[in-house]
Amino acid sequence: MAQVQPLPGDFAVTSVKGRVGFLISVGEWLNGSRFGHWDHAFVYVGDDQLVEAEPGGARLAALDEYQGRAVAWSTGHIELTDEQRTAVVTAARAYIGVPYSAADYMALALWHFHLRVGWARKVMASRASMICSELCDAAYDDAGVHLFADGREPGDVTPADLAALIKA
């Protein structure tokens, strides 16, 4: 895969190895994404840093933690103005510390099984806890950039959905 130089505000998808990666893949399978290659997402915030949601909560991390792994970037696929990029970065940074919750996976699974219960809608739309792809989507949404134009509910997004936007 060609090396891409991300710009602040770009998102990326990647895979996660080991037990955690397997559990995420199971969650995505339950959500209708099958066992896809892309099971994690994050927002690049510049200065070789990213914001990602993970089981310990959303955090600021070093980009080099993904050195040597397949990473597909939104760079060149999702066009953003400088103002939008700044707004995405600001929004992503504001989510640092937000908890990660298995309830988000359960809500997404219920939704994808067409069990349209109010609890699931509320959990997906809430920004009190988020999985990685929800954080990316929320940061873009906060910046006024709507990644999906298919009428989906707020928060109804998996890493595979983000990968499909950039045809990764």
Sheet containing 11-14: give its strands across.
59-62, 49-52, 40-46, 11-14, 71-73
Residue 77: predicted pLDDT: 94
Return the sign of the alpha-carbon dihedral for residues 109, 112, 117, 118: positive
Q: What is the pTM of this model?
A: 0.88
- Residue pLDDT tens, the chain, 168 long: 446 889 999 999 998 766 655 666 666 665 555 545 788 999 999 999 999 999 899 999 999 999 988 899 999 999 999 999 999 999 999 999 999 988 998 898 888 888 889 999 999 999 999 999 999 999 999 999 999 999 998 899 988 899 999 985
Where exactly are the structural domains of the chain? 11-165
82-94 vs 132-142: helix axis angle to the nearest 10?
A: 130
Residue 116: predicted pLDDT: 87
Q: How far apart are CA 35 and CA 42, in angstroms?
A: 19
Q: Which CATH class is domain 11-165?
A: alpha beta
